[in-house]
């Protein structure tokens, strides 16, 4: 995973936050943490 991938992901999350509410944001954070842990393996 490159830095540009991380930045793109954060930008995408920012767009999703605009469209969705807090519960969805928390869920996305959970999914992001899971994927980050998976990529670290």
Q: pTM score, two decimals? A: 0.34
State how far the Cα of 13 lies from the Cα of 17, in Å rounded to an integer.
Answer: 6
Each residue of 30-41: pLDDT tens digit? 888 888 888 877
Half-sphere exposure of 25 (CA within 13 A, CB side): 9
What per-residue confidence (pLDDT) applies to 23? 73
Question: Which pLDDT tens digit goes with each residue over 2-28?
Answer: 777 777 777 777 766 666 667 777 887
Give the pLDDT score at 24. 74
Instruction: State residue 29's pLDDT score.
Output: 85
């Amino acid at each position: 995973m490159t830095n540009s991938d991380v930045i793109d992901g954060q930008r995408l999350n920012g767009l999703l936050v605009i469209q969705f509410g807090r519960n969805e944001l928390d869920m996305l954070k959970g999914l992001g943490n899971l994927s980050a842990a998976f990529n670290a393996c």
